[in-house]
Amino acid sequence: MCGIFGVVAKKGDIAKKLLIIARRLQYRGYDSLGLATYLDGEIDLRKDMGTVESVVEALKLDNMKGNIGIGQLRWSTFGKPSKINAQPHFACDKDLVGAHNGNIVSFYQTKENLENEGHNIISQNDGEICVHAAEKHYNKTKDMVKGIMGGIKEMEGAFAFICFHKDTPETLYATKMGSSLVIGLGEGENYIASDLPSILPLTNKYVPLNDGEIIEITADTYKIYSAKDGSEIKRDPRVTDLSAEEAVKGKYDYFLTKEIYEQIEATEKLAYGLESDVLDELVDKLANADIAYLVGCGSSFNACNVGSYYLNNLAGVLSIPVIGGRFFEEFKNIKPTDKMVILNVSQSGETKDIINTINFAKPKGFHILGMINVPGSTVERMSEAYAYIGAGIERSVAATKTYTNQVLLFLILAARVGHKKGNISDKEFEELKNEIHNISKLVEKTINDSVDKAKQLAKELSKTDAMSLLGYGITHGVALEGALKIREINYISAEAMYSSEFKHGPLSIVEDGYPVIYIVAPEDKYYVTSHISEVECRDGRPIVIGENIKGLDKHVKPGDYFEIPKSSQLISPILAVIPLQLLALYMSIERGIDPDYPRNLSKTLTVD
């Protein structure tokens, strides 16, 4: 999944504005970068493989001039990472330049059709197909909106596309056809970008877009058209309170470090949601449900695993965590009832696997609910009711504060629904409210108590290339998340599973010193003690993360007990993930890996 962006401005340094956005979209793809600007009748296109800083340096992108420009950051799908496959691309006559984000699944067929009609396609990248398809229809109509409408019909896939033409050098055009895109409104300049956080240093005024829309902006106007019939769609701008400052590293070495510490403030802010009416609609929908499918990908799916524990045990709503790409394969023949909801959990609100689930389930009559972080995102716009996790902008590809706030929001929702349905007494609800309001202090203590130990353990474990992480009951989702963190930014095998399942096969991996990390909640000592001793007696290296549970330390070597502050069973998973986040961070630093931009990954995947 890539990042596309464009700026049209009456005056000022166009390259500077384009690179401000590019630097904030880097987490969406860092295989190559390209910019195209227009000045005095010429389009200046510069692009190459590499990170933003390396390409800016090599091609002097910050010297580019003009009043209009577009750019693209690539996470390769069609066509190897290379200079020729980098975007933007010219059309045949170099009068039109464009770039896309997403996938054109009809790439080979559309390429063949266009080549048979004389188009000269020079790369193996599906983005170039979009440019030639638009050119074909623009040349027939001399109207870029019609050009894009016609071009869209030539292709099959989910994408967003941006372009400009020498004939109209003061106008940017774009379309949203399944991948994220937003308009930003400035003073004497306007922007188009793949996501809202990327334009925040330039403006907090934006216009959200829906799939099937074509956009036309100049330095002081914006228009939206239906891609179906070209009719104009009126939509007022919105103002976001997300701040640009949130997305700079400040005093921290990495965004990941910063975002781990930001969990203190993020959990405190979200705890106030407990009493707020903003959650009322979502609480009502869940309280009315008998079955809730909790759908997410990556860290969001891991949060759904802890969330299902809360909803099943506190709220009495039968809750099933489902991987995003699996829903419609697994549940396609389920007949939705009014008592069934799908709660889609996605920090970006743009993950394609989740959008696919909604596009499948909504027409079938499922109630679509959302838990998101980015305002104005597609999941928000397709949900009957939704709630923000309020974690602020997350830049590091590996999720931390968004995962933690997703888990906390699940606890808050389950508590509210459980109390509303009478599953939780007033007294129990009050006690839980006090614990939730105290969480950020426990998060702060857990971080401060864990840093040195995590650094020390990371020194040792960074030399290993495989380990297992075992959770039980409420901590299973934590083991999944810890393993994902370690895999994402260390490129080693870290397998998570239910600790009772380990003896049914995977135990064979254990040999002298093989690390097995147990995440133990206060009430689960009985079963987990046996699980630990099964590894201990085979010379494996059990490592425990949990509060000081009497006698459990006897089963691990001195230094291998990662003690976290005392808390209730329900709060413990929110604290227990922190040592794992820190361990993954320090291991990657030990291994010389940039934890913010791990290879082959991207923060938000808007492709299948």
Binding site for ligand BG6 (CB under 6 A): 297-300, 346-348, 351, 354, 397-399, 601-605
Amino acid at site 28:
R
Between 180 and 203, whose beta carbon lies closer to ligand BG6? 180
Q: Are 522 and 474 in contact (CB under 8 A)?
A: no
How far is Cα 74 from Cα 223, in angstroms, rounded to an integer?
27
For CA atoms 407, 409, 415, 418, give the dihedral sign: negative
Structure tokens at 562: 């990662």
Q: Tell me the closest approach of the beta carbon of residue 598 to ligand BG6, in angstroms.
A: 8
Query: What 3-state DSSP class applies to 342?
Result: strand
Between 35 and 605, whose beta carbon lies closer to ligand BG6? 605
Catalytic residue among 136, 258, 285, 603: 603
- What SS3 string covers 495-559? EEEEHHHCCCCHHHHCCCCCEEEEECCHHHHHHHHHHHHHHHCCCCEEEEEECCCCCHHHHCCCC
Active site residue 223: no
Structure tokens at 453: 């130990």
Q: Are 568 and 435 in contact (CB under 8 A)?
A: yes
Q: Tell me the closest approach of the beta carbon of residue 403 to ligand BG6, in angstroms.
A: 7
Q: Tell me the closest approach of the beta carbon of residue 353 to ligand BG6, in angstroms.
A: 8
Amino acid at site 78:
F
How far is Cα 34 from Cα 23, in angstroms, rounded to an integer?
12
Between 144 and 158, whose beta carbon lies closer to ligand BG6? 158
Q: Tell me the closest approach of the beta carbon of residue 321 to ligand BG6, in angstroms.
A: 14
- With CB atoms as reference, the residue minimizing the distance to ligand BG6 is 298
Q: Are 563 and 546 in contact (CB under 8 A)?
A: yes
Extended beta strands in 76-171, E state: 89-90, 96-104, 157-165
Structure tokens at 593: 């890996």
Please, what's the largest Cα pairwise distance for the chain? 79
Q: Tell me the closest approach of the beta carbon of residue 307 to ligand BG6, in angstroms.
A: 13
Between 158 and 224, whose beta carbon lies closer to ligand BG6? 158
Other Cβ atoms closer than 10 A to 40: 7
Extended beta strands in 373-480, E state: 385-388, 466-471
Between 195 and 524, whose beta carbon lies closer to ligand BG6? 195
Q: Tell me the closest approach of the beta carbon of residue 312 to ligand BG6, in angstroms.
A: 22
How far is Cα 439 from Cα 410, in angstroms, rounded to an integer?
14
Catalytic residue among 2, 130, 297, 304: 2
Active site residue 525: no
Between 186 and 298, whose beta carbon lies closer to ligand BG6? 298
Amino acid at site 95:
D
Q: Tell me the closest approach of the beta carbon of residue 283 to ligand BG6, in angstroms.
A: 22
Give CA separation, 408 vs 273, 311, 380, 414, 500, in Å.
10, 12, 19, 10, 26
Q: Tell me the closest approach of the beta carbon of residue 106 to ligand BG6, in angstroms.
A: 24
Between 97 and 371, whose beta carbon lies closer to ligand BG6? 371
Between 489 and 543, whose beta carbon lies closer to ligand BG6? 489
Task: Tell me which DSSP letter residue 192 carries.
Answer: E
Structure tokens at 279: 């959650």
Which has the closest alpha carbon to 100: 116, 117, 86?
A: 86
Between 9 and 584, whose beta carbon lies closer to ligand BG6? 584
Q: Tokens 């129990």 belong to which residue?
A: 428
Q: Tell me the closest approach of the beta carbon of residue 19 to ligand BG6, in angstroms.
A: 24
Q: Tokens 């590996």 belong to which residue?
A: 398
Structure tokens at 334: 């389920």
Positions marked catalytic: 2, 603
